[in-house]
Amino acid sequence: MEINISNAALKWFQEEVELNKGDKVRFYTQIYGSSPIQENFSLAFTVDNDPIDMYINTELEGITFFIEETDLWFFNGHNLHVDYNQQKDEIEFSYTVSSD
């Protein structure tokens, strides 16, 4: 499994969420909404500088993006891709099948 953050998404996190080097962003599941890989569940994020059980992470410009082991089930063998949608002025998530 991988977490891929586009440069545009990284810039959005730095400007809109005001993240700085050393900050950590956790992607987690919500029990409402919808996603292409899990019906009735969606993905959200929070700034979480005290991870409990970081399963997978990626670091860009000193900012760590991660998923805890308790949320791994949501991805069901998929990689997470985070990009910025300029028209909607928000980040968006997409998923590809992991080769692991």
Domains (range + CATH), the chain:
3-97 (2.60.300.12)
Residue 68 has a pLDDT of 96
How distant, in Å, are the alpha carbons of 4, 44, 50, 53, 97 from that of 78? Answer: 12, 16, 25, 19, 4
* DSSP classification of residue 10: H
Residue 100 has a pLDDT of 65
Task: Decide if 44 contacts 20 (C-beta within 8 A).
Answer: no
Q: Look up the pTM and report it.
A: 0.92
* DSSP classification of residue 67: E
Q: What is the pLDDT along the chain (100 residues), one digit of tens a residue?
A: 999 999 999 999 999 999 999 999 999 998 877 788 887 889 999 999 888 999 999 999 999 999 999 999 999 889 999 999 999 999 999 999 988 6
Residue 49 has a pLDDT of 85
Residue 80 has a pLDDT of 96
Return the ∠ at Cα 49 (arms to 67 and 56), rounded to 5°: 20
